[in-house]
Chains A and B, each alone.
Chain A
Amino acid sequence: MKRLLKYFKKIEPDKTKNPFLFSMWESFFTFLFVPDDETPGTGTHIKDKMDLKRLMSFVVLGLIPAYIFGIYNIGHQHFLALGQYTGFWEGWNLKFAHGLIKLVPILVVTMVVGLGWEFYFSSKKGKGIEEGFLVSGALIPLLMPPDIPLWILVIAVSFAVVLGKEVFGGTGMNIWNVALLARVFIFFAYPLSISGDNVWVSGFDNIVAGIHPDYGWWHTGFFNTIFDWFNLDKFDSHMAIVDGFSGATPLAIAKDGGWDAVTQAFSTHDLLWGTIPGSIGETSKPLLILGGLFILLTGIADWRITIGAVLGIIFSGFLFNLWGATPLMTIPWYYQFYLGGALLAIIFMATDPVTAASTFKGKWIYGFLIGVIGMLIRVINPAYPEGWMLAILFMNSFAPLIDHYIISNHIKKRLKSE
Chain B
Amino acid sequence: MLGANKKPAYVGSNKIILLKKGLNINIKGKAENTFIEEAIIENFAIQPGNFRGVVPIPKVVVNPGDKILAGDLLFYDKKRPDLKFVSPVSGTVKAINRGARRSIKEIVITKDEKIKYKKFNSPNPDNISREDLVDFMLESGVWPLIKQRPFDLVPDKEIVPQNIFISTFDSSPLAPDYNFIINGKENVFQKGLEVLTKLTSGKVFLGLDANNKYPPADAFTKAQNVEKVYFKGPHPSGNTGIQIHHLAPIRGANKVWTVGIQEVITIGNLFLNNIYDASRIIAIVGEDIETPGYINTYLGADITESVRVCLKDSKCRVISGNVLTGETKEYGEFLNAFDYMISVIPTGNYFEPFGWFIPKKSRPTFSKTFLSKWINPGKTYSVDTNMHGQERAFVATGIYKEVLPMDIYPVHLMKAILAGDIEKMEGLGINEVAEEDVALCEFICPSKQEFQAILRDGHRMMIEQE
In the complex, the answer to whether A130 meets B392 with C-beta atoms within 8 Å is yes
Kindly state the separation between the CA atoms of A7 and B439 in the bound complex, as whole angstroms. Answer: 38
Give chain B residues whose Cβ lies under 8 Å from the Cβ of A35.
Answer: 351, 387, 390
- Quick one: CB contact mask for A108-135 with B, threshold 8 Å, 1 for yes? 0000000000000000000010111000
- Closest partner residue, chain A, to B407 (CB atom): A410
Kindly state the separation between the CA atoms of A132 and B357 in the bound complex, as whole angstroms. Answer: 16
Give chain A residues whose Cβ lies under 8 Å from the Cβ of B398.
Answer: 302, 304, 353, 358, 360, 363
Kindly state the separation between the CA atoms of A1 and B207 in the bound complex, as whole angstroms. Answer: 51
Say if the beta carbon of B195 comes within 8 Å of chain A. Answer: no
- Quick one: CB contact mask for A40-83 with B, threshold 8 Å, 1 for yes? 11111111111111110110000000000000000000000000
Give chain B residues whose Cβ lies under 8 Å from the Cβ of A44.
Answer: 323-325, 439, 442-443, 452
Kindly state the separation between the CA atoms of A50 and B444 in the bound complex, as whole angstroms. Answer: 7
Say if the beta carbon of B411 comes within 8 Å of chain A. Answer: yes
Using A35-B390, A36-B349, A38-B349 as known contacts, say yes or no to A53 and B444 having CB atoms under 8 A apart.
no
- Closest partner residue, chain A, to B443 (CB atom): A44
Say if the beta carbon of A228 comes within 8 Å of chain B. Answer: no
Using A57-B357, A359-B409 as known contacts, say yes or no to A33 and B388 having CB atoms under 8 A apart.
no
Closest-CB distance, A272 to chain B (whole angstroms): 29
- Closest partner residue, chain B, to A171 (CB atom): B393
Using A33-B355, A38-B349, A52-B447 as known contacts, say yes or no to A411 and B427 having CB atoms under 8 A apart.
yes
In the complex, the answer to whether A300 meets B326 with C-beta atoms within 8 Å is no
In the complex, the answer to whether B447 meets A49 with C-beta atoms within 8 Å is no
Say if the beta carbon of A172 comes within 8 Å of chain B. Answer: yes
Identify which of A50, A54, A171, A418 contacts B251 (C-beta below 8 A): A418
In the complex, the answer to whether B412 meets A172 with C-beta atoms within 8 Å is no
Identify which of A30, A41, A49 contacts B328 (C-beta below 8 A): A41
Closest-CB distance, A28 to chain B (whole angstroms): 12
Closest-CB distance, A167 to chain B (whole angstroms): 15
Give chain A residues whose Cβ lies under 8 Å from the Cβ of B356.
Answer: 31, 34, 51, 53-54, 57
Say if the beta carbon of B396 comes within 8 Å of chain A. Answer: yes
Give chain A residues whose Cβ lies under 8 Å from the Cβ of B396.
Answer: 55, 353
Kindly state the separation between the CA atoms of A328 and B58 in the bound complex, as whole angstroms. Answer: 79
Kindly state the separation between the CA atoms of A36 and B389 in the bound complex, as whole angstroms. Answer: 9
Say if the beta carbon of A407 comes within 8 Å of chain B. Answer: yes
- Closest partner residue, chain B, to A4 (CB atom): B353
In the complex, the answer to whether A51 meets B327 with C-beta atoms within 8 Å is no
Identify which of B325, B394, B428 contacts A407 (C-beta below 8 A): B428
- Closest partner residue, chain B, to A417 (CB atom): B251
In the complex, the answer to whether A55 meets B446 with C-beta atoms within 8 Å is yes
The interface residues of chain A, by DSSP majority, are classed as loop
Say if the beta carbon of A382 comes within 8 Å of chain B. Answer: no
Say if the beta carbon of A257 comes within 8 Å of chain B. Answer: no
Give chain A residues whose Cβ lies under 8 Å from the Cβ of B392.
Answer: 51-52, 128, 130-131, 171-172
- Closest partner residue, chain A, to B329 (CB atom): A41
Say if the beta carbon of A32 comes within 8 Å of chain B. Answer: yes
- Closest partner residue, chain A, to B428 (CB atom): A411
Which of B122-130, B181-189, B227-235, B364-372 contacts its partner? B364-372
Identify which of A51, A304, A358, A410 contacts B448 (C-beta below 8 A): A51
- Quick one: CB contact mask for A262-294 with B, threshold 8 Å, 1 for yes? 000000000000000000000000000000000
Closest-CB distance, A277 to chain B (whole angstroms): 35
Q: Please give the number of chain B residues whose Cβ is less than 8 angstroms from any Cβ of chain A in the complex.
A: 74
In the complex, the answer to whether A43 meets B453 with C-beta atoms within 8 Å is yes
Say if the beta carbon of B384 comes within 8 Å of chain A. Answer: yes
- Quick one: CB contact mask for A326-368 with B, threshold 8 Å, 1 for yes? 0000000000000000000000000001101011100100000
Give chain B residues whose Cβ lies under 8 Å from the Cβ of A48.
Answer: 363-367, 388, 443-446
Closest-CB distance, B331 to chain A (whole angstroms): 14
In the complex, the answer to whether B383 meets A46 with C-beta atoms within 8 Å is yes
Closest-CB distance, B140 to chain A (whole angstroms): 31
Say if the beta carbon of A261 comes within 8 Å of chain B. Answer: no
Kindly state the separation between the CA atoms of A400 and B327 in the bound complex, as whole angstroms. Answer: 37
CB-contacts of A143-181 with B (<8 A): 169-173
Kindly state the separation between the CA atoms of A207 and B347 in the bound complex, as whole angstroms. Answer: 65
Give chain A residues whose Cβ lies under 8 Å from the Cβ of B301.
Answer: none
- Closest partner residue, chain A, to B447 (CB atom): A52
CB-contacts of A1-49 with B (<8 A): 1, 4-5, 30-49
Interface centre among A1, A52, A299, A354 (most CB of B within 10 A): A52
Closest-CB distance, A346 to chain B (whole angstroms): 17
Give chain B residues whose Cβ lies under 8 Å from the Cβ of A50.
Answer: 365-367, 369-370, 388-389, 444, 446
Using A42-B453, A53-B389, A55-B446 as known contacts, say yes or no to A33 and B323 having CB atoms under 8 A apart.
no
Give chain A residues whose Cβ lies under 8 Å from the Cβ of B442.
Answer: 43-44
In the complex, the answer to whether A42 meets B327 with C-beta atoms within 8 Å is yes
Give chain B residues whose Cβ lies under 8 Å from the Cβ of A325.
Answer: none
Identify which of A40, A300, A407, A417 contacts B369 (C-beta below 8 A): A300
Give chain A residues whose Cβ lies under 8 Å from the Cβ of B37.
Answer: none
Closest-CB distance, A211 to chain B (whole angstroms): 46
Kindly state the separation between the CA atoms of A417 and B254 in the bound complex, as whole angstroms. Answer: 12
In the complex, the answer to whether A39 meets B387 with C-beta atoms within 8 Å is yes
Say if the beta carbon of A415 comes within 8 Å of chain B. Answer: yes
In the complex, the answer to whether A414 meets B429 with C-beta atoms within 8 Å is yes
Closest-CB distance, A357 to chain B (whole angstroms): 8
Give chain A residues whose Cβ lies under 8 Å from the Cβ of B214.
Answer: none
Kindly state the separation between the CA atoms of A51 and B444 in the bound complex, as whole angstroms. Answer: 9
- Closest partner residue, chain B, to A360 (CB atom): B398
Closest-CB distance, A172 to chain B (whole angstroms): 3
Identify which of A32, A34, A58, A298 contacts B388 (C-beta below 8 A): A34
Say if the beta carbon of B399 comes within 8 Å of chain A. Answer: yes
- Closest partner residue, chain B, to A56 (CB atom): B395
- Closest partner residue, chain B, to A415 (CB atom): B427
- Closest partner residue, chain A, to B392 (CB atom): A52
Using A30-B390, A45-B328, A51-B448 as known contacts, say yes or no to A132 and B427 having CB atoms under 8 A apart.
no
Give chain A residues whose Cβ lies under 8 Å from the Cβ of B343.
Answer: 45
Say if the beta carbon of B397 comes within 8 Å of chain A. Answer: yes
Say if the beta carbon of A383 comes within 8 Å of chain B. Answer: no
17 A–B pairs (Cβ distance < 8 Å), ordered by A: A34-B386, A36-B349, A44-B439, A46-B364, A48-B443, A49-B364, A49-B367, A49-B370, A49-B388, A51-B389, A58-B369, A128-B390, A172-B447, A358-B397, A358-B411, A407-B412, A414-B427
Given contacts A44-B325, A51-B446, 10 further A-B pairs with CB under 8 A are A33-B353, A38-B387, A40-B453, A45-B319, A46-B345, A49-B388, A50-B367, A132-B395, A360-B401, A418-B252
Chain A to chain B: the 5 pairs with minimum beta-carbon distance, closest first = A51-B389, A172-B393, A41-B328, A411-B427, A34-B355
